[in-house]
Structure 1
Amino acid sequence: MADPTLVWIRRDLRLSDHAALDAAVKRGGPVIPVFVRDGLVDGLGAAPKWRYGLGLEQYADALADKGSRLILRAGDAREVIPALVRETGAGAVFWQRAYDPESVARDKDVKAALKDAGVVADSFAGHLMFEPWSVETKQGEFYKVYTPFWKSVRERLVQAPLSAPSSLPAPDVWPKSEALSDWKLGAAMNRGAAVVRPFVQLGEQAAQSRLGVFLASKVAEYDRTRDLPGTDGTSNLSENLALGEISPAQCWHAGQRALQDGKAGAETFLKELVWREFAYHLMWHTPRILTDNWREGWSAFPWNEDDRSTEVMAWMQGRTGIRFVDAAMREMYVTGRMHNRGRMIVASYLTKHLMCHWRIGQKWFEDCLIDWDPASNAMGWQWSAGSGPDATPYFRVFNPVSQLDKFDKGRGYVSRWLAEEYGSPHKDALAYFDAIPRSWSMDAKDSYPDPIVQPDEGRKRALDAYQNRTF
């Protein structure tokens, strides 16, 4: 029998369409899945770290159903992985690629150390459909605008998803594993965990079910309904894609089948999958998008950078007095996610009406979203602020009042999330007060606030600042 293969699990918590796992089974010999809680995991915000813990628990159960286990170790992967190789006698380590700069640097170090020790070390695609170095303009450069990027990849072959292995060969003796419960990955969620948990759909099976329901009953009208926050018109797959409980290739092929069946909205769904790819390609080629203004001319823009200012705190608490903004922020605290139209509105309001730095919003979302994704979050915030690639023009300032009239005419969304103006508030609006920190001292019986900045006033202030700058 061949020596064991370690499969280093990261953001790929699934059995199907898992190239590293598939290659390990085909290599022969025992397969030992391992997850390393390193500094990148410890550095996650409260909500994504909690959701990661739930996903790991579910994935461990899925492996157990195949006669396998998930080995958990904490420490620097540069030390943990080689130590596990020595402990198990593994002859190979396989994993699926990550694309953020810290993960890339870590993975290069691990691969070099393993190869120096004579161990096979291979990484595989899977988190993306198109590797960032494989999509180029005719001039050999990366794309900086989405539409040409979409046109470049829309006809490309996406490999058919791999089936899940029927079984995973186990070693005679399993290496010791740490206990997931001892890691306390959900500690920072405090009482919010119990509020958000009913909205989580956990694991590979739930993700596939979500995709099936979406394609069967929603995708045909997706082009229209995806903009209506009070309508359940989206796939809701963002949390599952973020942790790899479903692969983008699986979504792509399913979307293509729906398009061939005459469901027109499927093309918009495919474009959204490619928008995610675009974000990752930009992160790969210009990692500064995670931390700095992508457009360097914005470095002198006079944003407020005080993340504890009165205006920022009102925004964080969903107490701006602007109903669309506040409803969207409260949706995030109760569900761990936010409708995409809401994300555009709250981001535009923070960066333009309140003139606050996009990094404040980016950091807050990193802490609060269970579907947090480094590339999409960074690009979304810079797109809204105007400082990013293919960004909304500086002069486009969403009016959150007219946007509410357009996309929530019946106020179903607002009434679900704002309690103060209703005699019998929706249970989800009340749940917000159970999720937030007690230190905020907020109550459903409080009066709803007046706007901290009137939309017209905020828009004028933003345009004055933009027009006095050269970009």
Structure 2
Amino acid sequence: MRKSPILMWFRRDLRLGDHEALTAACAAGRPVIPVFIHDELTESMGAAPKMRLGMSVEDLRKSLETKGSRLILRRGDALVVLRDLIKETGAGAVYWSRLYDPQNRARDTAVKAALKDDGVTADSYKGHVLFEPWTVETKTGGFYKVYTPMWKSVRSNEVPDTLPSPGDIPAPDTWPASDDIADWQMDAAMRRGADILKNHCTVGEAAAHDRLSSFIADRVSNYVRNRDLPGVDGTSHLSENLTYGEISPRKCWHAGWRALHDGKSDAEVFLKELVWREFAYHLAFHTPRIVSDNWKQDWDAFPWNTDERLAEVKAWKQGRTGIRFVDAAMREMYVTGTMHNRGRMIVASYLTKHMLCHWKIGLDWFADCLIDWDPCSNAMGWQWSAGSGPDATPYFRVFNPVTQLDKFDKDRTYVKKWIAEGTNTPSATALSYFDMIPSSWGMTAQDRYPDPVVPVDEGRKRALDAYQSRGF
């Protein structure tokens, strides 16, 4: 068994550097066979994130080839595939990086138990977090339910230095057969929008490191002000790369602290955003219901609409609510696969409060459209906005999307970038939306911009009345 191969099972850790599982595999003195499995959890992903995952897998394959290695691609049930590969290669161990959402945890727990019963070593390593959920506790020994105390607790915690990329990945004498990723057609559900969306993706480990370096050098100094302005390039854009593990949070953490020590005080807010991401995994681990049910269970009785067939819901998804901030943000997401964070708050508030629609409608739509989709962050963000989640904005706070636009997009740079109707010379990005959407939507750039499906004042009153009638 000492020289039997190790299967290195890649999932949301699609990089070579700062990779604890890969480093351990390469240090074991045994051949390493990198593997990616297109299993039922991959198959269930939404259109945009599945396409983006495929791009990341392909980039990892190329990176491994520069090291004289390969990425073996297989499709099927994870345990079945791993057992088949063990038989084919004589592998005596499987290594992987841990994941923290309920579905992946359930799969991994079952796989680990089954492999151990088979007499195969199954070792998991720290995954795409700074602080694993069970290592961060309140003073009384429980988990954190509020973000700010968690930030204060972990901000001074020691975070180990990043690990280098392996200089050599020991190869087996013979390689098992591999699928061709093109045969998986991971972009099929995107249909005609695939090529446009791909142009907005920044894929792979090298690109992620460049993105981090650019942010620290050019934008972190003005992060506090500019991160709230959707018409300004003021954020890191790293959520896309962190989602697929093309860069480690540890790499981002140390870069942020170096910037802070260099006198760039706004870097502290960037560090807080990294811990906000950690908070999502922390909660999903300790309270798994957050990804599918109201975190605050007293919200189970709230009379949200759950019918996605309503005309108002369709208008929200299509970016034609008649509320410019909402529509611009929804179109940005449809074209680029991402949405500015201020926009995320506004569209979520409008859906769950002005329209009184269940946050799950929004969660599912984002899961289909976002290239930076993450089950934990997506769920926590939606429940925070709806009022049913932890650390939520007060449930009675209803963002006014009109005054928010006046505050954060005064010159309408963002709106002009994404809304074509009623404009003599619409931008290329606004027009690209009509090239992406299904023809069945029947929308054109020459349409009249719609009236609000739910007027702002009317929607606010309706929400407050609903809260009061239910005793909130």
**1:227 corresponds to:** 228
Q: How does 1:36-435 map to 2 (within 5 A)?
A: 36-435=37-436
Q: Distance in 2 between matches of 1:271 and 1:80?
A: 39
Cα shift at 1:29: 1.6
Q: Distance in 2 between matches of 1:354 and 1:327?
A: 18
- In the alignment, residue 138 of structure 1 is paired with which amino acid? K
Q: Distance in 1 between matches of 2:167 and 2:236?
A: 28
Cα shift at 1:447: 0.4
Contact map agreement 1:297 1:470 (CA 8 A) in 2: no
- In the alignment, residue 35 of structure 1 is paired with which amino acid? F
Q: CA RMSD in A?
A: 0.8
Q: Distance in 2 between matches of 1:285 and 1:41?
A: 24
Q: Distance in 2 between matches of 1:6 and 1:278?
A: 31
Cα shift at 1:377: 0.3
User: Cα deviations across residues 169-221 of structure 1 (Å, max 9, x unaligned)?
Assistant: 11110001111011111100001111111111110000000000000000011
Contact map agreement 2:151 2:272 (CA 8 A) in 1: yes
TM-score scaled by length of structure 2? 0.99
Cα shift at 1:250: 0.5
- In the alignment, residue 121 of structure 1 is paired with which amino acid? A
Contact map agreement 1:221 1:264 (CA 8 A) in 2: no
User: Cα deviations across residues 206-245 of structure 1 (Å, max 9, x unaligned)?
Assistant: 0000000000000011011000000000000111000000
- In the alignment, residue 6 of structure 2 is paired with which amino acid? T
Q: Distance in 2 between matches of 1:192 and 1:359?
A: 24
Q: Distance in 2 between matches of 1:385 and 1:102?
A: 23
Return structure 1 stretches of 4+ with deviation > 6 angstroms.
Answer: none
Contact map agreement 1:82 1:113 (CA 8 A) in 2: no
Is there any run of 5+ residues in structure 1 with no aligned partner, and where? none
- In the alignment, residue 135 of structure 1 is paired with which amino acid? V
- In the alignment, residue 28 of structure 1 is paired with which amino acid? G
Q: Distance in 1 between matches of 2:453 and 2:88?
A: 60
Is there any run of 5+ residues in structure 2 with no aligned partner, and where? none
User: Cα deviations across residues 85-140 of structure 1 (Å, max 9, x unaligned)?
Assistant: 12111121110001111111111111112222222211000311101011111111
Cα shift at 1:470: 2.9
Contact map agreement 1:19 1:125 (CA 8 A) in 2: yes
Cα shift at 1:421: 1.9
Contact map agreement 1:5 1:90 (CA 8 A) in 2: yes
- Secondary structure at the counterpart of residue 199 of structure 1: coil
- Secondary structure at the counterpart of residue 199 of structure 2: helix
Cα shift at 1:290: 0.8
Figure out how many residues of one structure are paired with residues of the other and give that number. Answer: 471
Q: State, as a whole percentage, how many aligned pairs show the same letter.
A: 66
